[in-house]
Each structure stands twice: as structure tokens, then as C-alpha cells.
Structure 1
Amino acid sequence: MDQWSEFASLLQQPKGTLFLAEHMLCVRDRSGLLKPLRANVAQRRYEARRDAENIVLKARQMGMSTWIAGRFLLKTLFIPGTTTLMVANTQESAEALFAMVQRMWENLPTPLQSGIGKRGRANARQMTFPAMDSEFRVASAGEPNAGRGLSVTNLHCSEMARWQGDSSETLAGLRAALAPGGELVLESTPNGAYGCFYEQWQQAETSGMVRHFFPWWYEPAYVGARVADFTEEEEVLVQREGLTAEQVGFRRELARRFGAMRVQEFAEDAVSCFRESGDCFFDRDALAACAKDMNAPMDVRRNGALQVWLPAVPGRRYIAAVDVAGGGSGGDYSAVQVVDIATGMQCAELQMKMSPRDLAKAAAEIAHEYNGAMLVVERNNHGAAVLAYLEQERGANVFVDRDGLPGWLTDVASRPRMLSALAVLLSSSRSLFQGERLLAEMRSFVVDERGRPAAAVGCHDDLVMSMAIAQAVRARIA
């Protein structure tokens, strides 16, 4: 057992991990041949900088899942009482990852495999090692109880940007299962500038998580036909990253084969790979340009919930559009967008979790401040309650629709029209939009699997919908 203890201490050092992986683990290469796991450039760079909490943003097929799985298998074998959990985006992916881990076990050195590495219970999702009181598990992010009831030592969240359901809630549950001093790895290719993985990447520096970015050229197999003449963009990459003529040839082939998806599947930097990936409903170039022209609010109230860019001007007319949350004060956000009727300029924005009564009062106060602005309340669902409370507000200027009923009805006919009109307005007149929160929601407003524009899973659309309502009514009455 002393020898195994020495191996456990080696795993704490990058060089020791590299040595053990090469001498104990085998994987299939791109040709399907079984060979020792020799670390590539990305794997070595990861090992040199890894810490207790890590987030990995990468191009596809960089071998990071393989490396993390192998390293965690060694920790499970050599460190008593270890529980390793790998969580994949789908059940199929989880089973594929576990098949790779099983292959590593099957090709361990015989003394290890028949000694402390001898398996107890083994199936398609779990291996136990009774001699070390350790186990290795896989799960799907779609499982409602993934990680529940476990005390996890090593947690690997694979392809997290593609997790289904509320990935923030799933990650929170998994983090709760991670034991003090445990090791965490969040890993994925990009999938849009929204969602839990994107947020974790953006917040990594302040949260103490180590960021690892691995562009496609770290993989030595990614080469193509030699290129003689470089474009200006290619010349910049050659000078900055040291790309070879063969790598430039591979990059051109990627552009031909993948088109706009190249920057997602074969990331080159940690900014554009997010911005240019995913199925964003709004024009990405317009969003990027809008982000550069953002102005800070001149006034912030209600602990930041209410932001004001342009105060009311005497004689001007305004709309205050209200999107009502379905869950009241404990659920989603409600939102109010104030827009100048003549210009369409965003003047103020409220985003807050409120009851229908409090929302009606807040909207009425904002409308009063903006020269008795027209209050346009989406009357779907809980909007009816807000409209009822507004009847008690003296002087409230409530919008009445063409059907003679107060409020705005968002239905299968009006919804696509008003969202499309908002998308056109963003592209043609981006200076109308001031709010960073609105812009963030636009980035995470995607075309779903049914072809319907909606907030990405785990994201909000209250600011988008209230702005779409405001602009739709403005176009009708201006």
C-alpha cells in the first residue's frame, strides 16, 4: 500500500500526473488504435495551471474530457474514500464517457487492476473499488436527482453549455454535493453568450475559478493544405499565435465546411466564440455594435432595479410598457420599459420581482413621472390583476386595445410580429436602446428547436417582451 500512497502524492504534482497517466492509462487514438495516454499541448497546459475549481472553454475534440476522466480515475484508485462524478449533457454522452473510463480500467497494469483497483460493483454508470472505499460514477444533467445524496470528491461537468433544463439549478445541486476540498471542472465548447456556462466563465475571476481556454490550433492533428498567400486576418493570426501555413490551410477548410459555425466548434478566442455561437434571434453584429455604444444610466433607484437614462421632458409623450411575471414576488421578474413615442428612445427601465399590486403602483408612479405616460400592460395571465389594481390609481392612462379591452394581448399572431419588428429596429436604429440588461436578454433570446423565438433555458425575456410591446404600440399610435 506504501507504493500506492506514493502514487497518490504524485497526483498532486503536474509532472507526477503526466508520468502516471502515460504509464498507467490507455486510450484509443483517432485511428481507433489503443495507445498510452500521452498528454497533448492542451492537456499539459491544463495540468500546469489547474486548481481546486476550474472552467475549461475549448475547441472541439481537444481531448480535455479524456484527460479529466483519466486523472479523476487515478485519484479514485489511489486516494481512499474518493467519489468521482462525471455529469454529461445527455444520457448517451454519459454512457460514452463511462465506456472510455471502463476501457482505461480494463487496460490498467495487472498489479493495480487486481490489487487496490479491483472492481466491486460495476455497470454502465458506476464502478466501485472496495479496497479503497472509492467509486466512479456518471450521470446525465437531465436527471432530476443527479448527485443527490452523494458526497462528491471530484466533479466533472462535461459540455455544460449544452445541458438541458435549468442548468443553473442543476449546477447548484451538484455544488452542494461537492465535499470541502473537492475538485471541480466545468468544461464545454461555447454555445452562445448566455446560459449558466457563459455566466460561470464571465464570473470566474471574481469567484476564484481558474479559466482555461484552448483554441483549435493546440491540437497538432488540425493541419491542412499549405497556404502561400495570407489574408490580412490570417496574417494577424500567424504573427500573434505563430500559426503555420498548414494550419491556415486547415482554417480555410473549416470555413468552407462549417461556415458561421466555425467560430463555435473551433474557437479562436474567448470572446467571439461566445458572441458568434448559438441560435440568437437578434442580429449578432447589431448587438455587438450596440454594446460598444452603451451609456450608463444617469439615475439609479430601487436598489438598482430602476434605471433612468433620459428624464421626462415637458410636452413630450411616453409609453410605459409592462410585462407581468407569472410567479409574483417570489417568481420571475416583472418589467417596465419607458419609451419616447416620437423617437422610440428607451428612457427608463424597471426590472424587479414584485406582486401585481406593487407592480401596478410602481408602474403608475413611473407613468406619472413621465407626463402621464400611456400604461400598456400585457393582459395575459397575471396582467389582468395588474390592470385591476391600476383602476384604483387616480389618473392612470391605461392603453385600450382595438377590441375595446384594456391592456395588450400577446398571442400567436401578435408575438412573432412584434418580436420581428423589434429585431428590425435593433438592426436599423440601435442607438434607441440604452440598457445593458436589455442587451443581455437579447443575446440569450434564441430560436428554439421548434423554430420559436424565446429566452434560452434558464434565461429571462421580461425586458425583451416589454420593449417589444412598447415599440409595437408606439408604431401603432405615433
Structure 2
Amino acid sequence: MNERERAIRRRLKDDFEHYAPRVLKIRSKSGRVEPFELNQAQRHIHACLEEQKRQTGKVRALILKGRQQGASTYTEGRFYWLVSHRKGVRSFILTHEAESTGALFEMAERYHDNCPALVRPSTGASNARELYFDRLDSGYKVGTAGNKSVGRGTTIQYFHGSEVAFWPHASEHAKGILQAVPDAPDTEVVLESTANGIGNYFHQQWQAAEAGESEFLAIFVPWYWQAEYRKPVPEGFVRTDAEEMLVKLFGLDDEQLQFRRFKIAELSADGIEGTSAFKQEYPMTAQEAFQVSGGDTLITPEPVIAARRYKCLGSGPLIIGVDPARFGSDRTAIIRRRNRAAYSLETYTKRSTMEIAGIVASIIKKEKPAQVAIDVGGLGAGVVDRLEELGYGDIVEAVNFGAAAGDPELYRNKRAEMWWLMRDWLSDDTVPVMIPDRDALHADLCGPTYRYDSNQRRILESKEDIAKRGLRSPDAGDALALTFAEPVRIKQDVHARVVADATTGY
């Protein structure tokens, strides 16, 4: 091998985006075998994985996507690239059904059969589910999730879980084959799936990753990134109000809207509501993919998406909402709001009362808020007691979610009142508002459902009932709602005079 060939080999070994179109062949949706040119979704996934690997030395990723967006094709190509360039490593791909297992292994064989001689590894063994590269002592294998013990007893450096939301024994595989991947540099675990409702293993892992509570990176891929997801626009095409909102929020064009109409009609069969089915199969956001069942959500995604994208400077008194963790899996959430701008969301897990009180005291000392509203349920009472002991009683507002609302004829309790005020703040079309651009906050805000009691009072779904549906506690949403708990009183202190609207609090 001459110097030019060595330079070519080095770049192919080190740069997957350079390697893929020159080495790998895929079967396109039209049935042709052609070079693997990464699409927008695949480039996004690749950038996320490479950045995580640069920061942590390994890859741990959850990918939520729509139908046929190329996540499996990318991951299979990435793992073939890694295994065919490294000695003594093993790659394992686990799918949800036998047909998919065969399809993914066929993809791997196509990569190998069409690989140029310059970079094609020597094959020592090949069968229906395994490729073994003898000179490298490396291997590439696939299995089906129907077998609880598949992959146990082995050591794996690269693991790809495909359509994880549909695994029949997901928790068993988490305890088995996923534990076969050592917690070591240069190892990779990629779990990808379309959504399959809430409460299952994939949804639980997504919630943890989204909230920053696991080492996994949550990667979402919206359907409208696919260039082929378009349909010719018929004569007389007129957008609906809902479609106008999609254009405003996501920049969709008429051909994409027509694709959406076509798919909704196609999915509307056998009693299935086509729009809901489309959202699960072709989501615009992660929150849309994991649709809420059992009632209407109080806050819809549209104003939340708009608030995530809007940027402004906050003005007026600083109000801080603190929702202390109630149980071991809950988060303590702290968020700031100045009038139309909410910002700087912080979350903490497994912190004691004294630790949370110390964090809040430090914030008060540094940021000098006009009000700190704290939920006194669970750990909150201890946090409030400690802050009052430290001399912050004139700033701290103790809020009991179950207490009577300011307007008891309209709301069942204080928590419902705060959430409705927050919804009105988010949905005010006359003045846009800003919230942190965080998926976890988005999910929290769009989680709780609502109903009315026999006296037509408004009731917000309780945290306990939310947990029964498989959703995490909306702690960040509750923290933001707390900033609407009470009007900010006129105060005078050694730091500054803070004046607020005594009727609205914002």
C-alpha cells in the first residue's frame, strides 16, 4: 500500500460522513441500489452522536423518529464502519420481530458485499445472522427481541436496539443484553424507535433522557425533514386554520401539508382517528409522538412551541417558582419569571431539604427576587421553614397546591388556578411570551389533563393520576405555575424597591 492509499484509508477510517457515500450501498425506497448519501435526519443524528462521543468518550443515545426516516440505516452503516476498522470488537443489533431482523441483516450484508476491496475486511464466517471478520477478530450479529435471553453471556462494544417501543420483553433485555456493553470508552448504545404509547420501557427511558436523569442523549427527528414526504398540491388547495398554524410554527409548505392530508386520510380506517395516528407515526415534536390518552390536556403544544422559539428580555419584578421533590424519582425544579419572560430552569434530584434550602438561599442572595413561591407539600415545608429561619420570610411565599383557590367558585384548588393562569399567559395572542427551550419543560406543560366537577369548577389532573398513566411528575411545569401563585406585593428592602402590579402579579 502506497502513501496515497494509506491517506485514503485513514480518512475513510476516521470520517463516517466521508466514508458512507464512497463505501456503503443501500437499497433506496424506489428499489435501486445506490451510494449511501446521508439525509437531513441522518446528518442530525450523526452530529449528535459525534458531539456526545467527543464530550464523554462513548455514545449512549435514544432516537425518537417517524416512519422510515433512516435511523436504522444510519446506525447499521455506522456500526459496520466501526467493526470493520477495529480489532476484537462485537456489534449486536436487536430488533422487535423476525422480519425486521432479516431486513437489517440483509442491509449489513449489502454493505459488506459492495464494500471496495481496499477497505473490505476479510470474512471468516457468514450465516443468516452473523458476519465474522477473522483477521480483525471482530463480529456483527443480529437477534430478535422475542427471545428473553438473546445476547446474554457475551461482551458487546456496539449495540443497536431497533423499534425498542415494540420489544415484547424490553425490561428483560435491559437487564440482560444491555448489561453486556461495558461502561467504557469507545462503546456505543443506540436505541431507536417510533412511539408506541406511553408507560412502556422506551417511553420511560425517553422521559429520563429528556429530563437529563440518565446518561442517554434524547434525539428527536421530525417527519418534515424527509425530502420525499411531499405530495403535489391539487387545484383549489386552501389551508385550514390548523395548517396555517403548522406553517407558522414549523415552516411547512403546501406540498408537505398535502402529504399530511394524504396520510391522515390513509390512516383513518377501522375506527382509528387519522390525525392522532399521524401524530404518532409522523410526529412534529416528541411530545406529539407520546400522545396523552384519557382526556384533553390543559395546555396544547402550539403556544408552548411558540414560547420556546420567542426571545425577549424580561422586565419587572423577578418571581421564582420552586417545586421541591416529593419522592425519590421526582425532581426539584426552580425557574425564574419576569413578566413575559420565563428563563433559567434548574432541576435537581436526590437533594435533601437543607440542600434545596441552601440552593434557594444562594439564589435569593445573588438575584434578589421580589418573591419566591414554594410548594409546601412533601419536602417544601422544611425548605420554607429553613428559609424563614435564614431571614427570608418577607420574600418566601408558601403555597399549598391543595388549598382553596383565590376564586373557589371557578377552581377546585390552588394548583388548578395557577395552571389556568399560566395557560392564559402562554396563550395570549396579543403579547408573545418566552420560556426556556427545554424538551422536559415542554413535556411537563403539555402533560396534565383537565375536567370539571359537578359544580363546573375546573380540576387539574393530580400528580398521582399522571404517574398512573406512566408519565413523570410535571415538576418543571409546577415550578412555572408557582410564579402565578400570588400577586407580588410592594416591598422595600436593603437591596431595592420592587413594585409590581397588585392585581395580576405580572
Is 2:182 the partner of 1:187?
no
Determine helix, strand or coil for the equivalent of 1:185.
Answer: strand
Match of 2:405 in 1: none
2:252 to 233, 240, 243: 243
Determine helix, strand or coil for the equivalent of 1:271.
Answer: helix
Equivalents in 2 of 1:88, 1:433: separation in Å?
39
Match of 1:141 in 2: 145
- Residue pairs, 1:456-471, within 5 angstroms: none
1:214 to 218, 221, 225: 221
Match of 2:172 in 1: 169
Deviation at 1:287, TM superposition (A): 9.1
Is 2:39 the partner of 1:30?
no
Q: 1:304-329 CA distances to partner (integer Å, 9 max, x unpaired)?
A: 99xxxxxxxxxxxxxxxxxxxxxxxx
Q: 1:78-108 CA distances to partner (integer Å, 9 max, x unpaired)?
A: 1111200011011221121111111111111
Is 2:205 the partner of 1:200?
yes
Q: Which consecutive unaligned segments of at least 5 residues does structure 1 have? A: 290-295, 306-347, 350-425, 445-478
Equivalents in 2 of 1:287, 1:127: separation in Å?
52
- Residue pairs, 1:229-378, within 5 angstroms: 229-258=238-267, 259=274, 260-276=276-292, 283-285=294-296
Equivalents in 1 of 2:325, 2:231: separation in Å?
55
The code of the aligned residue for 2:137 comes to D
* Aligned residues of 2:129 and 2:143 also touching (Cα < 8 A): yes
Match of 1:321 in 2: none
The code of the aligned residue for 1:152 comes to I
Equivalents in 1 of 2:329, 2:238: separation in Å?
53
1:99 to 84, 102, 106: 106
* Aligned residues of 2:199 and 2:469 also touching (Cα < 8 A): no
Q: Which consecutive unaligned segments of at least 5 residues does structure 2 have? A: 53-58, 268-273, 301-321, 331-376, 379-449, 472-506
Task: Mark the CA change 1:261 to 1:153 in structure 2 (over 3 Å): closer, same or farther.
Answer: same
Deviation at 1:236, TM superposition (A): 2.3
Match of 2:122 in 1: 118
The code of the aligned residue for 2:256 comes to Q
Task: Mark the CA change 1:9 to 1:197 in structure 2 (over 3 Å): closer, same or farther.
Answer: farther
1:436 to 432, 447, 463: 463
Give the number of the structure whose residues are more often helix, by fraction: 1
The code of the aligned residue for 2:191 comes to L
Match of 1:388 in 2: none
Is 2:60 the partner of 1:60?
no
* Aligned residues of 1:8 and 1:75 also touching (Cα < 8 A): no
Task: Mark the CA change 1:142 to 1:238 in structure 2 (over 3 Å): closer, same or farther.
Answer: same
Deviation at 1:434, TM superposition (A): 5.9
Task: Mark the CA change 1:300 to 1:431 in structure 2 (over 3 Å): closer, same or farther.
Answer: farther
Equivalents in 2 of 1:8, 1:86: separation in Å?
27
Determine helix, strand or coil for the equivalent of 1:135.
Answer: strand
Task: Mark the CA change 1:61 to 1:45 in structure 2 (over 3 Å): closer, same or farther.
Answer: same
Match of 1:467 in 2: none
Determine helix, strand or coil for the equivalent of 1:105.
Answer: helix
Deviation at 1:297, TM superposition (A): 11
* Aligned residues of 2:92 and 2:160 also touching (Cα < 8 A): yes
Is 2:108 the partner of 1:85?
no
Determine helix, strand or coil for the equivalent of 1:156.
Answer: strand
Deviation at 1:53, TM superposition (A): 0.9
Deviation at 1:298, TM superposition (A): 12
* Aligned residues of 1:191 and 1:264 also touching (Cα < 8 A): yes
Q: 1:111-168 CA distances to partner (integer Å, 9 max, x unpaired)?
A: 333xxx1211111111100111100011112212222121111111100000002x12
Aligned length: 308
- Residue pairs, 1:388-407, within 5 angstroms: none
Equivalents in 1 of 2:144, 2:111: separation in Å?
21
Equivalents in 2 of 1:256, 1:75: separation in Å?
42
Task: Mark the CA change 1:193 to 1:21 in structure 2 (over 3 Å): closer, same or farther.
Answer: same
The code of the aligned residue for 1:148 comes to R
The code of the aligned residue for 2:103 comes to A
Match of 1:471 in 2: none
The code of the aligned residue for 1:233 comes to A
* Aligned residues of 1:275 and 1:284 also touching (Cα < 8 A): no
Deviation at 1:220, TM superposition (A): 0.5
Task: Mark the CA change 1:210 to 1:249 in structure 2 (over 3 Å): closer, same or farther.
Answer: same
Q: 1:159-194 CA distances to partner (integer Å, 9 max, x unpaired)?
A: 0000002x1231232231002221110100011121
Equivalents in 1 of 2:79, 2:35: separation in Å?
16
Q: 1:311-348 CA distances to partner (integer Å, 9 max, x unpaired)?
A: xxxxxxxxxxxxxxxxxxxxxxxxxxxxxxxxxxxxx9
* Aligned residues of 2:160 and 2:190 also touching (Cα < 8 A): yes
Equivalents in 2 of 1:18, 1:269: separation in Å?
26
* Aligned residues of 2:451 and 2:459 also touching (Cα < 8 A): no
Q: 1:358-399 CA distances to partner (integer Å, 9 max, x unpaired)?
A: xxxxxxxxxxxxxxxxxxxxxxxxxxxxxxxxxxxxxxxxxx
The code of the aligned residue for 2:194 comes to T
Equivalents in 1 of 2:324, 2:467: separation in Å?
20
Q: Percent identity?
A: 31
Determine helix, strand or coil for the equivalent of 2:125.
Answer: coil
Equivalents in 1 of 2:324, 2:136: separation in Å?
61
The code of the aligned residue for 2:179 comes to A
Equivalents in 2 of 1:159, 1:191: separation in Å?
9
Deviation at 1:285, TM superposition (A): 2.2
Match of 1:339 in 2: none
* Aligned residues of 1:112 and 1:118 also touching (Cα < 8 A): no
Q: What TM-score does the superposition give when structure 1 sets the normalisation length?
A: 0.58
